[in-house]
Chain A
C-alpha cells in the first residue's frame, strides 16, 4: 500500500512537470532558452524560465465565465485522490488489518458485522477527524500566510496553539473536565487568543506585519501560562495535558466529527468566497484598494473564519504542529501558482495529516505514537529542506 500511494504522488508530480515544459514549448516564447536553463536548475523552477501556464476559461453565452489553471486543477484533483487513498489505507491499518477492497466494501454497506463495527464506529470517525483537521489547518494556514504576507505567519507560530492549550489546560487542571469540556476550553482559548491579537494589533485596521509581531509576543506569553498551569497540575492531569498538547487522532469518534464537520461546512465556503480578494491583497494594501477590494473587511472576515477553523480543529485533535505552516507552502510549490491556493492548501493539509497518522501507525504500531510528534518531525525537516533549496536557488 505504501508503494501505491507514494508512486501515485511521484507519478503525478512528474507528469505535471512534463505538462509544464510542454505548454511552455507550445506557447513558443523563448522556450528553447527556458527549457535549457530549466534542465540546468535540476527541474526546479529556475530563474529565466518562461512560465507559460495553461489558463482555460469556461464561458457561457449568458456572460458567465470560470477561470481554470490547468496545473492547479490537476494538482487539486491529485491531492483529493491521495487524501482519499490515504484515508482508506488508514482505515485498513491497525490490530485488525483490512485490504483496501474490504474497506471499500464495508464503507459501501458490505462486510460482516465485525468489520462494520471496526470501520463505522472505530476507524472511520478517526480518519474523518484527520481529514477535517488537516483541511482546516491547511486552509487557515493559507489565509494567515496570505494576510501576513509571510510564510512563517501561520497560526502555530502566532500563539494559537498555545492559546488553545491554555484553554484546554485550565479545564484539565482546575475543573478536571471530560473530553468535551476540554474541547470547549480549547475553542474558547483559541478564539480569545485571536480576539486579543486582533485588538492589540488593531490600528485603523489589521496590518500583516504588526499582526505577526503581536502574535509572536502572544505566543511567548501563552507558553509561559502553559508552563505555569503544568506546575499546578498533579501527575495524572499533567500526563493528560501533555498528551493533549502533542496532538493525536487516537480514539477520536463521531462526537469529534460532527462539530468539526459543521464548522468546516460553514466556514470553508466563506473563506473560499474570499479567495479572489485575498489574492489581490498579496500585492499590498494600496494595490488591493485600487482594485476595489475592501481590504479591512476582507482581512477581518477571512482571519476570523481562519481563527475559528484553527480553534475547532485544535479542539478535535490537539494542536498538531506544522500542518498549517507547511501545507500552504507545499501546495503552492505543486501548483506553481501565485495566490493563497486555498483549496489545494486544504487538500494538502488533509493529505499530510492522514498520511502522517497512517505512517506513525505503520512504523510504530497502532496508537503508539501520537500523530503530532510525526508532523512535528516531518514538518521541521521539510522546512529545513525548503530553506536549503531556496537558498541554493538564490531565492532567499
Chain B
C-alpha cells in the first residue's frame, strides 16, 4: 500500500524539463531512500512529492487525491518535510523552534494546547535535544541544529516524513547520528520516511526501499540487497566498483575501484579498466 504516489509526472523548472513521465509509489512504513548522481532529479522528485513543486503534467497523489488540490494545512498534517536549507530566526530558542512544528495543528483561537506542549517535549526527547531546550539555535553545532530541525518536523506529527539531503554539510559523526535517528523514527514510531541521500553506502545500509535515479528516470527500485550490484552502480554513477557485504550489517557495500596508474596510452588504461570490471563482475559476491 502506498499513501503517497506520483503518477506519470513531468517535472520542470520553467522550460527546463528535469524528468518526464515518472511514476513512483512510496511503500507505507518504509524507509525509502532516493539516490543518484548530481542533477539526476532526485531532489526535484522529492520536491514534487512534498507539493513544493507542481508537476507540469501528471499528478502527485496523497491518499488517492491530487496533493495540489488539498488544503495546505491538511497536507501538512499528513506529510512533513525537512528542507535542504532552513533559516533559524535570530535569537530563537530550541523549544520555540520545535514548537513551530505545531503550526498546522493550531489556529487563531487554538494557539498552544496542552497536546502541543506535550508533543513538543516528546519530539525534543526523541531527537535528544531536550536538554538544549532553552539554548539559542544559532549557537548549536551543525549536528545538533539538524536534530532540532528534525524535532520540529516530528512535532508536526505526520505519518509521512520527507528529508532532502539531511546529512549534507555534516561531518561523518553527525551524519551517522542523523541517520541512526531516522532509522529509530522509522522502526519505533512506524513513520514512512523518504530521504534523498548522496552517500550510496549510507543509502544501502539504512534504506528498506531504494530508488536509483539517473537523468530524470528511475533505473531500479527495491530492497538494497536485491538491487545494488556493480552493474547498477556503473550504470547509474558511471564508476566501476566492487559490491561486498557490509561487515557490520550485511547490507551491500560499494567499494569503488582503485585508480589505475597511467602507464602507456589511454587505450591501455581503458583495457585495464575493462579487465577490472570483468574481474569484479566475476568475483563479486553479488551480481
Contacts and interface: CB of A to CB of B under 8 A. Distances in A.
B89 A283 contact: yes
A280 B111 contact: no
Interface string A326-337: 000000100011
Given A273-B108, A292-B77, A283 B87 contact: yes
A16 B260 CA distance: 69
A312 interface: no
Q: What band does the interface of chain B fall in when counting residues whose beta carbon is under 8 Å from A?
A: 35 or more
B111 A291 contact: no
Interface residues of A, number: 41
A59 B114 CA distance: 8
Given A280-B103, A290-B50, A292-B104, A67 B111 contact: yes
A51 B139 CA distance: 12
Given A48-B139, A55-B112, 18 more contacts: A24-B134, A47-B136, A47-B139, A49-B136, A50-B134, A57-B113, A57-B117, A64-B110, A65-B112, A65-B114, A65-B116, A67-B112, A279-B100, A280-B100, A290-B83, A291-B103, A291-B156, A339-B89
A291 B72 CA distance: 8
B270 interface: no
Interface string B74-118: 111100111111111111110010001101101011111110110
A357 B136 CA distance: 38
Interface string A303-330: 0000000000000000000000000000
Contacts of A42: none
22 contacts: A50-B134, A51-B135, A53-B93, A59-B112, A65-B111, A65-B112, A65-B116, A66-B109, A273-B108, A276-B108, A280-B103, A283-B89, A284-B86, A286-B83, A286-B86, A287-B83, A289-B51, A290-B50, A292-B77, A332-B91, A338-B89, A339-B89
Contacts of A339: 89
B153 to A, nearest CB: 7
Contacts of A55: 112
B110 A287 contact: no
A290 B133 CA distance: 22
Nearest to A29: B134
A276 B110 contact: no
A232 interface: no
A251 to B, nearest CB: 41
A172 to B, nearest CB: 41
A122 B84 CA distance: 58
Contacts of B81: 286, 289-290
Interface in A31-86: 45, 47-53, 55, 57, 59, 63-67
B103 A276 contact: yes
Nearest to A146: B89
Nearest to A52: B134
Nearest to B149: A287
A137 to B, nearest CB: 21
A338 B76 contact: no
Given A29-B133, A64-B109, A67-B112, A291 B93 contact: no
Nearest to A272: B108
B73 interface: yes
A292 B75 contact: yes
A57 B111 contact: yes
Could you say which of B82, B104, B117, B134 has the most chain A C-beta atoms within 10 Å of its C-beta?
A: B134
B52 interface: yes
Contacts of B111: 57, 65-67, 276
A286 B52 contact: yes
Contacts, number: 116
Could you say which of B84, B114, B136 has the most chain A C-beta atoms within 10 Å of its C-beta?
A: B136
Those 8 A-B pairs whose CB atoms lie nearest each other, nearest first? A292-B76, A286-B83, A67-B112, A290-B81, A292-B73, A338-B89, A338-B92, A292-B104
Interface of A: 24, 27, 29-30, 45, 47-53, 55, 57, 59, 63-67, 149, 273, 276, 279-280, 282-284, 286-287, 289-294, 332, 336-339
B268 to A, nearest CB: 49
A263 B112 CA distance: 31
B100 A284 contact: no
B106 A276 contact: yes
A64 B153 CA distance: 23
B83 A45 contact: no
A332 B101 CA distance: 22
B81 to A, nearest CB: 4
A150 B112 CA distance: 28
B100 A283 contact: yes
A57 B83 contact: no
A283 B112 CA distance: 20
A290 B85 contact: no
A292 B156 CA distance: 10
Given A65-B111, A67-B111, A292-B72, A286 B84 contact: yes
Contacts of A57: 111-113, 117
Given A27-B134, A280-B103, A336-B91, A293 B72 contact: yes
Given A66-B112, A289-B52, A292-B103, A53 B96 contact: yes
Contacts of B50: 289-290
Contacts of B133: 29
Contacts of B112: 55, 57, 59, 65-67
A53 B108 CA distance: 22
Could you say which of A45, A55, A293, A338 has the most chain B C-beta atoms within 10 Å of its C-beta?
A: A338
A48 B132 CA distance: 11
Contacts of B116: 65
A64 B87 CA distance: 30
A173 to B, nearest CB: 43
Contacts of B76: 290-292
Interface in B37-54: 50-52
Nearest to B54: A204
A51 B136 CA distance: 7
Nearest to B52: A289
B153 A282 contact: no
A284 B83 contact: yes
A27 B95 CA distance: 13
A45 B100 CA distance: 22
B103 A293 contact: yes
